[in-house]
Amino acid sequence: QVQLVESGGGLVQAGGSLRLSCAASGLTASTYAMGWFRQAPGKEREFVAAMNWSGNSIYYGVSAQGRFTITRDNAKNMVFLQMNSLKPDDTAVYYCAAQLGSSWRPKGGIGYWGQGTQVTVSS
């Protein structure tokens, strides 16, 4: 059974940093690309970052560019999102996602979602 579990969210002041983790189980890392999405209250879900498990293809959403970094640890079957210079607008529930295929497809469907982890940035 495929399962994605996020952790690392919390409350941080503007300008601070957080590191989110996503632990994946029940899938072969090389057959899935992994990504992060977020959804703030009253807003639509937004793409944040994604990468294939080989680490040679990475995508970032506009809001993440220059501040967020996606990484992975294949041995532990985990994906991370390092978030720096956080802003109040970054406040949202962050979701880990897995997409079938070795490469991320920006318009492709998501096969599996995590439950999400709350990130709150105070001004």
pLDDT at 119: 98
The beta-strand segments (E) located in the chain are 3-7, 10-13, 18-25, 32-39, 46-52, 58-60, 68-73, 78-83, 92-100, 112-113, 117-122
Assigned token pair, 35: 């990504």
For 54-107, the pLDDT digits (tens) are: 888 999 999 999 999 999 898 898 999 999 999 999 999 999 999 988 888 888
One-letter identity of residue 90: D
For tokens 């920006």, the residue is 106
How far apart CA 68 and CA 63 sit, in angstroms, is 9
pLDDT beyond 90 at 113: yes
Assigned token pair, 123: 């001004």
For tokens 């607008």, the residue is 89
For 8-50, the pLDDT digits (tens) are: 999 999 999 999 999 999 987 778 899 999 999 999 999 999 9
More confident residue, 74 or 6: 6
pLDDT at 14: 98
